[in-house]
Amino acid sequence: MARTLEFLIKRIREELRAEGPNAVGYSDFIIIDGINAAMIDLSETFPVQDEYSFTTSDGVNSYEIDYDAVYNIIKAEYDNTILESIPIKEYLDSNSKTTGDVTKYTLWGKSFILLGAVEDSKDVNMWVTRQPNRVEEKDDTPEIPSYADEAITAYALSVCYRESRNFDKANYYYGVYIAQKSNVLRRGVPQRQKEYLPKMGDSYWGAFRPSRSTIKSDTNPGGVV
């Protein structure tokens, strides 16, 4: 059977049946929520590597990143020029927010803000780390490796038992999750390679190509750092 959300749900239900007469009392919603929460927790150490791209509009400096949970921008380019990241205060204190060459950027909330004279139809490419995408449909494939399945299963079991107020079993399976998480970390980061972050996804996604967004052109695009 392919390693999909359906596979993980069946695996968790088998574990629940082993603990009692049946698993009817636990909805797919609760199990899926537990699976996604486990993947997010694991991804704090091993985020998914991804790419994100958009096209600029003439004179527009601020762009909304159209998906959540980006942990870090590793590298950003404007028209094949590598951009320097600067703090928001340096941007606010700058006297040349919209003049000169585009060589810097800053972040404010979900806004990605370029400094300089932005031209039309220029590509901005970013290499980022992010949370894994949620699995919702039964044929969705988790974006973390299969050796994390034991940890995911234990976390989801803890969520199910906590939902039914069986706190003894909930705490037991959370303890199992912590132990399995340690195993995942050891396997994911070999001793000789601790300075590198492994890719959690089974494949490296191509760049998203969203259409041009509604843009904020003032110098206070909103949001909280």
Average confidence (pLDDT) per 10 residues, the chain, 225 residues: 91 85 76 95 82 94 79 93 95 93 92 96 94 92 91 95 92 95 75 41 40 45 51
pLDDT at 155: 97
Kindly give, in sequence order, each residue whose CB lies less than 8 Å from that of residue 193, ignoring residues fewer than 6 positions away: none
Q: What's the order of all strands across the beta sheet hosting 70-78?
A: 48-55, 123-130, 70-78, 81-82
Please give the sequence-ordered ranges of beta strands (E in DSSP) within 1-56, or none if there are none. 48-55
pLDDT at 112: 93
Determine the Cα–Cα distance for residues 43 and 219; give it in Å rounded to an integer: 33
- Measured CA distances, 72 to 3, 25, 100, 139, 222 (Å): 28, 40, 27, 29, 20
Q: Which two tokens stand for residue 57?
A: 């509009």
pLDDT at 121: 97
Q: Residues 53-70: pLDDT tens digits?
A: 999 999 999 998 865 668
CB 71 within 8 A of CB 128: yes
pLDDT at 67: 59
Determine the Cα–Cα distance for residues 44 and 117; give it in Å rounded to an integer: 36
pLDDT at 4: 95
